[in-house]
Amino acid sequence: MSRTVYVNGAYLPEEEAKVSIFDRGFLMSDAVYEVTSVLGGKLIDFAGHATRLARSLNELDMAAPCSDDALLAIHRELIARNDLDEGMIYLQVTRGNPGDRDFVFPGPEVAPTLVLFTQAKPGLADNPTAKVGIKVISIDDIRWGRRDIKTVQLLYPSMGKMMAKKAGADDAWLVEDGFVTEGTSNNAYIVKDGKIITRNLGTDILHGITRAAVLRFAREAQMEVEERPFTIEEAQAADEAFFTSASAFVMPVVEIDGAAVGAGTPGRVAARLREIYLDESRKAAI
């Protein structure tokens, strides 16, 4: 059955949804996005995603397509129309369609393009992969310097995932100046002697909404957290490794560049954080 998607004010069957070939999202990757998880038909951390979207738009001098309340209403309408129980809602805002190709930003007469669609993922929370963990390889981080802005420039992350696949792994961690920045589509962590270590925020990583929640829950549970860069060698010698993202929640990493992390099985800290994150997020879902 076809999905109902949202494009610029209209709810349409996916086959009928259209965006112009002159849209700057298409021609210039001049667009930002958000992915919000849905569990039990409710949105996980909508406020966090709306706040980060506003920040991304602001950093790029891009107009907001509508209010946060209107965005929430669209998310809820899509959940209802698609009968979505578990999965994600993808949202993208572009600088719109100026009617031709031009590097110069259009003026305020050009409205932003707003697109949203659902992705049903039954079993998202009970993902069996979380019980076995995943394998990562390390690759050079050659992305642009404003990774704190959630743009749709996802070619290198896609290439990274393909490199991982080719190497028999599941994903890649990106390394810059000898230190791990983040995963291709997630934030990276290690655990050593009970301490959770993850890179500090800056322009070199995305400020993960799941990261913020998981670190808050960890501190509330009296776990020690240190925000600083770490190397691949340190990660390989750690007791545990894991990553976080809105759609994978907390995911154990059991192998890095062919070396087992800890016992080579998901660690206790990652498992506990996943449990707390899912419990608390479900309680706070709207």
Decide: is 211 part of the binding site for ligand PMP (CB under 6 A).
yes
Residue with smaller CB distance to ligand PMP, 97 or 217: 217
* Per-residue mark of binding to ligand PMP, 174-203 (x: CB under 6 A): --------x--xxx----------------
Decide: is 209 part of the binding site for ligand PMP (CB under 6 A).
yes
Smallest separation, CB 195 to ligand PMP (Å):
21
Task: Give me the sheet containing 31-39, strands edge to edge.
Answer: 10-13, 4-7, 113-120, 87-94, 31-39, 42-43
What gap in Å lies between CA 136 and CA 181, rounded to an integer?
14
Smallest separation, CB 10 to ligand PMP (Å):
26
Smallest separation, CB 150 to ligand PMP (Å):
7
Footprint of ligand PMP on 35-94 (CB under 6 A): 35
Q: 236: which residues sit within 8 A by CB, 6+ positions away?
A: 256, 257, 259, 261
CB 261 within 8 A of CB 238: yes
Decide: is 206 part of the binding site for ligand PMP (CB under 6 A).
yes
Per-residue CA distances from 227 to 124, 189, 204, 253, 277 (Å): 28, 10, 14, 19, 19
CB 49 within 8 A of CB 246: yes
Interface size with ligand PMP, residues (CB under 6 A)? 13
Contact with ligand PMP (CB under 6 A) among 130, 246, 254, 276:
246
Decide: is 245 part of the binding site for ligand PMP (CB under 6 A).
yes
Tokens at residue 229, please? 């860069």
Residue with smaller CB distance to ligand PMP, 95 or 211: 211
What gap in Å lies between CA 139 and CA 57, rounded to an integer?
29
Decide: is 138 part of the binding site for ligand PMP (CB under 6 A).
no
Catalytic residues: 150
Per-residue CA distances from 186 to 11, 182, 232, 257 (Å): 30, 6, 16, 17
Decide: is 281 part of the binding site for ligand PMP (CB under 6 A).
no
Residues that bind ligand PMP (CB under 6 A): 35, 182, 185-187, 206, 208-211, 244-246
